Amino acid sequence: MATAVNWTRRSVVAGMVGTPVLLLAACSGSGSGSKDSGASGGSSPAASKATVTVTPKDGATGVDMAAPVTVRVAQGTLESVTLTGSDGKQITGRLSADRTGWTSASPLASSAGYKVAAVTKDSAGTTATVSSAFTTGKPAKTFVGVYTPDDSVTVGVGMPVSINFNNAITNKAAVQKAITVTAEPPVEIVGHWFGDTRLDFRPQEYWKPGTKVTLTLALKDVEGAPGRYGTQAKVATFTIGRSQTSVADLGAKQLTVTRDGKVTQTFPISGGSPEHTTWAGKMVISEKLLQTRMDSRTVNLGGEYDIPDVPHAQRLTNSGTFIHGNYWSSGIFGSVNTSHGCVGLHDVQGASDPSTPAAQFYNSSIVGDVVQVINSGDRTVDPSNGLNGWNMDWSAWKAGSAV
C-alpha cells in the first residue's frame, strides 16, 4: 500500500528572495506532524501544496523484495529521492521526465530495512521533505547449492569444485557470476554447467600441489529462476595435497601409481569382463569407504551379486564404478578381467590387513586423486558421471560456461 502525505499538514519553510531553505519533517501514514516556529521575524511558514505517495507504505513489513519502490507527487515535482538500506548503501532509481515519479531500478535485499527521503517543490516554489521506512521479507521460493569439497580439507590434484543446486537454475549467468573460485598461486579457473542443477569449476590442468583454493558463494538474493532466490553467503577453502595419479591398464591388468612424478607402487588388478567392461578415461576419487555393501540391483544388474562388506572401496563414478578390494576371488589379479565394471585388487575380508594391495592403495589415496583407466574395451566415461570433467578438453569445458 502507499503512504500519501499532503503537505498542508506538514511543516515547511518558505524560500526567501528566491532561495529555498529546507526543513526535514517526519512523515507517517496518519498525517500527523509538528509545526515550525517560522523562518524569521516570527512569520508563519508557507504550506506546500505537494502531496507525496510512497509505495510501500511507511512502516510496512514483509515487503516483496522484488517489487519496485515508487514515489509519486501531485501538485508539485520531485527535486530528489534517496532510498537507503540499513547497510548504508543507496538503491538507484529513475526519475520520470516530468519529475512527478521515481521508481527504484536496483534489487532490494531480503529481510532488510530501507528508508526513503523525497524532496518536493510545489508551484509556488515551496520545498519540503517526506521520509518513509519499511522492511522487506524473505523470498517465498529459494535455492541452495551443495558444494564439494568441504571446507578446510586437503584433496588430490584432480579435485574440481562441484556445486549441485536443489532446484533448476535458468538464470545461469547471474548465478555463475555470484560464485567465484580463486587459487593461490593464481591460475585460470572456469565454470562449466552440467544441465540445470550442477556447476563445476576447474583449471585447464590438474592443480599444482600446495595450491590454496577459495570458493565464495555470494548467492543471497540472486534470482536463479523466476521468483526463486539464493540464500547463501559462504566462503570455503581447501588445499591441494601431494600429486598422486594412477593408471589402471586393463590390458596389462596392472595399476601403476605415480606420486610427485615418481612411480611408487604397482599392483596386479582385475577389471570389467568383456560382458561388463569398465569405463575408460580419467576418474577422480570422490568417496572413500573402508567397507561398504555392493548390490547389483542398485546398478540395474538384477540379482547377480550382493556383497555386504566390500573392503577398501573408492568411488570413481556416480553410476557405481569403484576401485576396491576383493577377498572372494583368487587367481584373477594380473591375469583376467572378471568384474561387473569395477577395478579390483587383492584384499582380505574385514579390511584388517594393511599389507594387501587394496589396503596399500587405499591408504595412499585421498579424495581428489585421479585414476585413469586405459585399454578397458569401453568408451570414455561421461564427464558428468562423477567428478570427471577432465575427460573434456579445455575449449569444450569453457564452452559450457554461462559467463
Instruction: Convert the pLDDT of each residue in 102-147 to its tens digit.
Output: 999 999 999 999 999 999 999 999 999 999 999 999 999 999 999 9
pLDDT at residue number 29: 34
- Say yes or no: 375 and 322 in one domain: yes
pLDDT at residue number 47: 86
Lowest mean pLDDT among 15-24, 136-145, 216-225, 320-329: 15-24
- Say yes or no: 266 and 295 in one domain: yes
Query: What is the pTM (predicted TM-score) of this model?
Result: 0.83
What CATH number is attached to the domain comprising 372?
2.40.440.10
pLDDT tens profile 49-107: 999 999 999 999 999 999 999 999 999 999 999 999 999 999 999 999 999 999 999 99
Instruction: Judge whether residue 9 has pLDDT over 70.
Output: no
Compute the distance between CA of residue 327 and CA of residue 367 in angstroms, rounded to an integer: 23
pLDDT at residue number 105: 97
Q: Would you call 398 helix, strand, or coil by DSSP?
A: helix
Mean pLDDT for the chain?
A: 90
pLDDT at residue number 45: 63
All three cell numbers of 167, joined, read 532446484
Question: What is the band of 38 on the pLDDT scale with cuts at 50, 70, 90?
Answer: very low
Backbone phi, then psi, for 177, in 5-degree steps? -65, -25
Instruction: Judge whether residue 18 has pLDDT over 80.
Output: no
Domain assignment of residue 311, given as a range: 244-391
DSSP letter string over 305-349? -EEEEEEEEEE--TTS-EEEEESS--S-TTT---BSS-EEEE--T
Instruction: Judge whether residue 35 has pLDDT over 50.
Output: no
- Say yes or no: 174 and 217 in one domain: yes
- Say yes or no: 73 and 197 in one domain: no
Would residue 192 show up in a list of annotated catalytic residues for this protein?
Answer: no
pLDDT at residue number 16: 30
Catalytic one of 27, 312, 342, 346: 342
Would residue 342 show up in a list of annotated catalytic residues for this protein?
Answer: yes
Percentage with pLDDT > 90 across the chain: 85
- Say yes or no: 122 and 56 in one domain: yes
Catalytic one of 312, 324, 340, 346: 324
- Say yes or no: 340 and 249 in one domain: yes
Percentage with pLDDT > 70 across the chain: 89
CA 78 to each of CA 75, 112, 138, 204: distance values in angstroms, whole numbers, following the listed order? 10, 25, 31, 54
What CATH number is attached to the domain comprising 196?
2.60.40.3710
Asked, for residue 402, whether it belongs to a domain, the answer is no
Counting the structural domains of the chain, the total is 3
Nearest by Cα to 37 from 49, 51, 23? 23
Compute the distance between CA of residue 340 and CA of residue 234 in angstroms, rounded to an integer: 41
Instruction: Judge whether residue 25 has pLDDT over 70.
Output: no
Backbone phi, then psi, for 176, in 5-degree steps? -65, -35
All three cell numbers of 88, joined, read 548504508
pLDDT at residue number 305: 80
Instruction: Judge whether residue 368 has pLDDT over 50.
Output: yes
Contact 315, 323 (CB under 8 A): no
Compute the distance between CA of residue 348 and CA of residue 350 in angstroms, rounded to an integer: 6
Question: What is the band of 303 on the pLDDT scale with cuts at 50, 70, 90?
Answer: confident
DSSP state at residue 48:
P
pLDDT tens profile 149-200: 999 999 999 999 999 999 999 999 999 999 999 999 999 999 999 999 999 9
- Say yes or no: 223 and 349 in one domain: no
pLDDT tens profile 247-300: 999 999 999 999 999 999 999 999 999 999 999 999 999 999 999 999 888 887
- Say yes or no: 154 and 121 in one domain: no
- Say yes or no: 86 and 165 in one domain: no
Instruction: Judge whether residue 396 has pLDDT over 50.
Output: yes
Beta strands in 64-121 (DSSP E): 70-74, 77-85, 90-91, 93-95, 101-104, 113-121
- Say yes or no: 63 and 176 in one domain: no
Contact 369, 156 (CB under 8 A): yes
Positive or negative, the Cα torsion across 367, 370, 372, 378?
positive
- Say yes or no: 148 and 83 in one domain: no
Averaged pLDDT, 317-334: 96
All three cell numbers of 218, joined, read 555470494
